[in-house]
Structure 1
Amino acid sequence: MTAEQQIQGRDSGTVWPGEWVEQRLDVRLPEPSVRELLGLALRQNPRRAHLLVSQVLGKHVPQLPEVVYGAGHRLGEAVRELLGPQAAPVVLGYAETATGLGHCVADGLGGGPGTAARYLHSTRRPVAGIEAVEFEEEHSHATSHLLLPADPDFLGGDGPMVLVDDELSTGRTVLNTVAALHGRYPRGHYVVAALVDTRSPEDREVFAKTAAELGVRIDVVATATGAVRLPEGVLERGAALVAAEETRQGCKVPSAGPLAPLTRVELGWPAGLPDGGRHGFSAADRARLEQALPAMAERLAEQLPGGQPDGVQSQGGTAPRRVLVLGHEELMYAPLRLAGALAERLGDGSEVRFSTTTRSPALTVDHPGYALRTRLAFPSHDAPADGEGRRYAYNVAPGSDPSRRFDAIVLVVDDHGDRAPLHTPGRGLLDRLRGVTDRVLLAVVPAHRPGRERPAAGAPAASGTLPEPLYGPAFSSYRAEEVSWLLKDLSEVTLEAPTEEREEAIQQGGAHYAESLPVEYQPTAAYQELFQQALRESAGRMAEAVAVVTETVLAERGRGVVLASLARAGTPVGVLMRRWAQYAHGIDLPHYAVSIVRGRGIDTVALRYLADRHNAADVVFVDGWTGKGAITRELAEALAGTGFNPEMAVLADPGHCVRTFGTREDFLIPSACLNSTVSGLVSRTVLRSDLIGPDDFHGAKFYRELADGDVSEQFLDAITAHFPRVSPDVSASAAADSPEREPDWSGWAAVERISEEYGINSVNLVKPGVGETTRVLLRRVPWKVLVRRGAEAELRHVRLLAEQRGVPVEVVDDLPYSCVGLIHPQYTRGATGDGGTAV
């Protein structure tokens, strides 16, 4: 099959996808070579009536990746033939339409396998700290272009510059670019490379005149050349035709049928590899991408029905017949190359096509003689380029022709685009895609941030760089996909000290509690049985609370949220929230574990990591429960002015400190009981200057030696098993904006009262709630335990621990918590003399 036959393949049949406009508006593309490459549609744009729709660009028309890549690569070869093999050009592509095309031209210019010319494309996404070169595109829907090379010398030198666009219509954009660049980076030779050159004789004269005025040579290389013939009054006639067709079609509301399952796929994108040419892309970058493509395609294939390796059949059945890899606006090249690699991986039994979303509004007509047959409209989800407006995906929905339907769609976005609007129920792009196919995969590529390159895996972190997360099973007993630990592994460092020794050092001001670790408590057989009984009794209540807090987060923050649990008590809750989102909505939420230390704040290197890969406003910090609210206050203070939302989500809020919670009941959360053996075998976090450098995450230990007693997965699975029995009304109730959700900090007031009544005079030594009381009995030097009258039945484990350690239990009235643990104040009195505390 020839390229031309492939171009005219399934999507257009034997009808030229421009006949509809040609017959009604009398817009003509007389040259056969131009008609082979283009179709016609009508714009919703007052500057131009018609839209030339490329059949080989992969923007509006899903096309075979080898056709898209081949068209650009051959264009690059033609430019190399013009320039000669010794030339070292800089290639510049235009956003958004030609970003991928420019990449392919740069590849074709390279002259051989594994080579490419230097490449940069314009962007509409500004980046602070990089000086921009700006120019305008008059006829475009979005006119302003920015050039943002990470290397300030990227555009310099005296070699030729190759300007790549899909369509050279008047040439004004190219001349604007040359004018903007030539005064700052003068050179003698410019080459314009385009798939089609439709300039008029008058436009060509302007080109020649501009070249003469600047004293430069401007050549044009095009795959096809021919003028577009426009009738008199085309703008007015086109607008009238659009209005008439929209009236005829009426307001089409898609039926709300069942949504296809959604799976987030971790591609394993190479660390430090740019996602494209927004800030520059080199031959070395291309070589790294080539090397990584097969493994990334394998990860995608394994998530498709029938895509398991070695012929293993997945539960989804046979391999999909038609797969679309859909890119995101300027992100074209990486999805294109992934589509090509996926096509090779799936083989002849499947047809893989490629296209991307766009900013351009245009009329759609479900007719084989019209280039844009269907359109999915959705809110913009790109940041920070544009948080407003609508975006479009053309020819993705099948329309009236079922043979055009895709069995699976792989959406590839960068992490700037993985924001809440992408996940908006019913309206976001993901749900729009899930309504027109059988399965959707979401693959997120880390957007390249100049000056914030990441080291290769395992490499030491140089000053200013960011370390890589830790994953199970190498660190923790949790599965790698359940949580990314933003921690430094201190497993080989001796950090434990006897509890009484630690308590004295902490209270006398000689040490901070995060500078050492308590000896890991080994529960007795009786206490292990008590844990199992408590888990059996509370798993259902826990599942309900997990559902409530997750639904609240999704309703208020959108489905593009990123979970950042506070290690370690928050980590099991974050895993459970992630599991609920997958179970109830088919979405895989990114989940990280980060350290926060009372009195010293949150891990700022972890914040840098999160901000480097996600929109800070999408990050939701998660904890297990609130006591008096000290960590809630610590988090709010630490995040002030960072762009992160300080509003924390917790499973249980007995202290009434937050507005996003699963329950405010003070009951036993089993993960509060067993320390590391119910938290992935990970210690509490450590912050000590001799161990944690300025570019390190906070530290923690992985207690591999405790694996025989690990019940972390059992705890998670027991609660997850109750998900099907959670009330269907949870989602609606969670989204309700009730006054009862507002925090009143009644827990803090109670703690202050208890501190005064018992002569402690330090709220830090009063640990309210079942979870905090349990931790006092396990890790600190407890003095007394206060139990609310009537709550004794649910506190058997507290009584058991207190009995084991010889701690008296007092039953009291008017306690807002089920119980409160009091830390022994003797060290405080000895240290300060005035009843105060140095903690």
Structure 2
Amino acid sequence: MSQTIHLAAGTLNIEVHKAHLPLNDLLDFASRANPKRGYLFVSKVLGKHIPCKPSTMRDIYHRLATPLLEVPGSVIFIGMAETATGLGAGVADSLARKAKRRDVIFQHTTRHRLPVSEWVCFDEVHSHAPDHILYRPLPAFQQRFAEAQTLVLVDDEVSTGRTLAQLGYKLSQKLSNIRQVILVSIVDWLSPEQKQAVQEKIGRPVSFISLLEGTFSFTPSPAFRPSLPGKVESIQPALQALPQTGRRGIGMGEKSLIPSGPYPKEHKVSVVGTGEFQFQPFLWAEWLEKRGFDVLFQSTTRSPVQLGGPIGESLSFKDEYGEGVDNYLHNPPRSGDVIIAYEHAELARNHNLPEQLGGSVWGVDRSASQDR
């Protein structure tokens, strides 16, 4: 199937080769305020730029986890910041649930500084954000990392494979027992030649799992000249990460607990995650939806997107960590009960997003846990 999409930034030509779900069910398209890459594939199922039902997100997690049910363990999942911190955790969670496995560990890369040892650092070619950092796992997980046989790298879409190949290579050098590396994405745009290059870079058997495979080309418009913030540097004091956020590892499939969030006052509810902090707010949104609430989930982002097409409105504000970085909430909720989730309650003190949305603040670090 071929499709041509005309954007302010230029023209996208897409060829779909294989799809488990239709292209238009998975993606929309927008112009990106980034001269390195003027187009953006806007996921309809990620819960990021477009609000999404938690049940739809869980279906995506289950679909991507199903081919992994029999992989040898331990299984290490790495989600890419910021877009796939929630996706990676969700797929790992679904694998642990579906296969009743207790050997699944999830961790995500981050763009934030922690007061602990860095393990792996690498850059993302088309991003204006800081380099990815992967911190040394918590002591409780280090032996399971060392013994792991399967490494699963998760991103929402793979267009060149270079970033994941960098990470796969560096981790394969550190984890000598890895027998296979699996790249999981909602959409895979790699050509056979690019997949071969990823395989050669990583130096281990590599396989690919996605819901849609295809190729695309982009012809930029010379009239499109976006301005972009400079390279973002991390200047805030070192962040004290919560153990359950995933920056240093989470054991999936053990006794599953979700944070107990605020109970909505209205039937219609929007739960908003902030930046990399997506999975725990998603679990609360999912819990509410299962109890009959009309719930949508979305999260803030560093990614500037031009208005138009799937982006009807966009709020701009400084980040909650005190870096002075422009953040955005695309397609913000304008009705119902709005709950904005922060991993630390104090992050909301000088953050004006709750005021812009008229929403309530949920500091997850002060929440009790509740059986899922």
TM-score, normalised via structure 1 length: 0.39
> Which residue in 2 is equivalent to 1:377?
316
Contact 2:118 2:133 in 1 (8 A): no
> Which residue in 1 is equivalent to 2:235?
none
The yes-or-no answer on 1:167 pairing with 2:157 is yes
The yes-or-no answer on 1:446 pairing with 2:370 is no
Structure 1 residues 380-391: aligned runs within 5 Å: 380-382=319-321, 387-391=323-327
1:125 to partner: Cα distance: 1.6
Contact 2:65 2:95 in 1 (8 A): yes
Q: Counterpart amino acid of 1:172?
A: R
1:20 to partner: Cα distance: 6.6
Structure 1 residues 493-512: aligned runs within 5 Å: none
In the alignment, the residues of structure 1 paired with residue 182 and residue 61 of structure 2 have an alpha-carbon distance, to the nearest angstrom, of: 15
1:143 to partner: Cα distance: 4.2
Structure 1 residues 675-694: aligned runs within 5 Å: none
In the alignment, the residues of structure 2 paired with residue 221 and residue 20 of structure 1 have an alpha-carbon distance, to the nearest angstrom, of: 25
- Report SS of the residue matched to 2:82: coil
Contact 2:35 2:226 in 1 (8 A): no
Structure 1 residues 692-771: aligned runs within 5 Å: none
1:24 to partner: Cα distance: 7.5
The higher radius of gyration belongs to 1
1:111 to partner: Cα distance: 5.1
The structure whose residues are more often helix, as a share, is 1
In the alignment, the residues of structure 2 paired with residue 97 and residue 115 of structure 1 have an alpha-carbon distance, to the nearest angstrom, of: 25
Q: Which runs of 5+ in 1 are unaligned?
A: 1-17, 245-271, 305-318, 398-404, 423-427, 435-439, 449-453, 457-839
1:274 to partner: Cα distance: 3.4
Flag the 1:112–1:147 CA change in 2: closer, same or farther, 3 A: same
- Report SS of the residue matched to 2:145: coil
Given candidates 122, 126, 138, the residue that maps to 1:150 is: 138
Given candidates 126, 133, 150, the residue that maps to 2:120 is: 133
Contact 1:122 1:278 in 2 (8 A): yes
The yes-or-no answer on 1:241 pairing with 2:240 is no
Contact 2:92 2:252 in 1 (8 A): no
In the alignment, the residues of structure 2 paired with residue 228 and residue 445 of structure 1 have an alpha-carbon distance, to the nearest angstrom, of: 40
Flag the 1:46–1:447 CA change in 2: closer, same or farther, 3 A: farther
Structure 1 residues 157-556: aligned runs within 5 Å: 157-186=147-176, 187-211=178-202, 214=203, 216-231=204-219, 234=220, 237=221, 240-241=223-224, 274-283=243-252, 287-289=255-257, 292=258, 296=260, 299-301=262-264, 304=265, 319-320=266-267, 322-345=268-291, 347=292, 350-365=293-308, 370-382=309-321, 387-397=323-333, 405-415=334-344, 418-422=347-351, 428-434=352-358, 440-446=359-365
Flag the 1:178–1:24 CA change in 2: closer, same or farther, 3 A: closer
Structure 1 residues 17-96: aligned runs within 5 Å: 21=6, 25-31=10-16, 33-81=22-70, 83=71, 86-96=72-82
Does 1 or 2 have the higher relative contact order (CA < 8 Å, sep 6+)?
Answer: 2
Flag the 1:447–1:228 CA change in 2: closer, same or farther, 3 A: farther
1:300 to partner: Cα distance: 1.6
In the alignment, the residues of structure 2 paired with residue 196 and residue 131 of structure 1 have an alpha-carbon distance, to the nearest angstrom, of: 30
In the alignment, the residues of structure 2 paired with residue 391 and residue 88 of structure 1 have an alpha-carbon distance, to the nearest angstrom, of: 36
Contact 1:56 1:68 in 2 (8 A): yes
Contact 1:378 1:432 in 2 (8 A): no
Q: Counterpart amino acid of 2:250?
A: F
Query: CA-to-partner distance for each residue in 1:297-343, whole Å, 9 max, x for gaps?
Result: 5x423xx1xxxxxxxxxxxxxx34x3210001111111111111112
- Report SS of the residue matched to 2:285: helix
In the alignment, the residues of structure 2 paired with residue 154 and residue 143 of structure 1 have an alpha-carbon distance, to the nearest angstrom, of: 29
- Report SS of the residue matched to 1:226: strand
Flag the 1:54–1:331 CA change in 2: closer, same or farther, 3 A: same
In the alignment, the residues of structure 1 paired with residue 335 and residue 99 of structure 2 have an alpha-carbon distance, to the nearest angstrom, of: 32
Query: CA-to-partner distance for each residue in 1:520-539, whole Å, 9 max, x for gaps?
Result: xxxxxxxxxxxxxxxxxxxx
In the alignment, the residues of structure 1 paired with residue 346 and residue 36 of structure 2 have an alpha-carbon distance, to the nearest angstrom, of: 29
- Report SS of the residue matched to 2:223: helix
1:107 to partner: Cα distance: 1.6
1:59 to partner: Cα distance: 0.9
In the alignment, the residues of structure 2 paired with residue 332 and residue 417 of structure 1 have an alpha-carbon distance, to the nearest angstrom, of: 17
1:447 to partner: Cα distance: 8.9
In the alignment, the residues of structure 2 paired with residue 37 and residue 170 of structure 1 have an alpha-carbon distance, to the nearest angstrom, of: 19
In the alignment, the residues of structure 1 paired with residue 300 and residue 50 of structure 2 have an alpha-carbon distance, to the nearest angstrom, of: 10
Flag the 1:406–1:114 CA change in 2: closer, same or farther, 3 A: farther
Flag the 1:275–1:208 CA change in 2: closer, same or farther, 3 A: closer
Contact 1:79 1:221 in 2 (8 A): no
- Report SS of the residue matched to 2:113: coil
In the alignment, the residues of structure 1 paired with residue 110 and residue 144 of structure 2 have an alpha-carbon distance, to the nearest angstrom, of: 16
Contact 1:382 1:419 in 2 (8 A): no
1:208 to partner: Cα distance: 3.5
Flag the 1:29–1:421 CA change in 2: closer, same or farther, 3 A: farther
Flag the 1:130–1:70 CA change in 2: closer, same or farther, 3 A: same
Q: Counterpart amino acid of 1:445?
A: V
Flag the 1:22–1:279 CA change in 2: closer, same or farther, 3 A: same
Flag the 1:113–1:174 CA change in 2: closer, same or farther, 3 A: closer
RMSD of the alignment, in Å? 2.9
TM-score, normalised via structure 2 length: 0.84
Q: Which runs of 5+ in 2 are unaligned?
A: 228-240
1:113 to partner: Cα distance: 7.6
Contact 2:354 2:360 in 1 (8 A): no
1:275 to partner: Cα distance: 3.3
Identity of aligned residues (%): 28
Q: How many residues align?
A: 345
Q: Counterpart amino acid of 1:132?
A: W
Query: CA-to-partner distance for each residue in 1:737-776, whole Å, 9 max, x for gaps?
Result: xxxxxxxxxxxxxxxxxxxxxxxxxxxxxxxxxxxxxxxx
- Report SS of the residue matched to 2:194: helix
In the alignment, the residues of structure 2 paired with residue 373 and residue 157 of structure 1 have an alpha-carbon distance, to the nearest angstrom, of: 47
1:417 to partner: Cα distance: 6.2
Flag the 1:19–1:420 CA change in 2: closer, same or farther, 3 A: farther
In the alignment, the residues of structure 2 paired with residue 76 and residue 417 of structure 1 have an alpha-carbon distance, to the nearest angstrom, of: 35
- Report SS of the residue matched to 2:111: coil
Q: Counterpart amino acid of 1:34?
A: L
Query: CA-to-partner distance for each residue in 1:194-214, whole Å, 9 max, x for gaps?
Result: 111011344223123325xx2
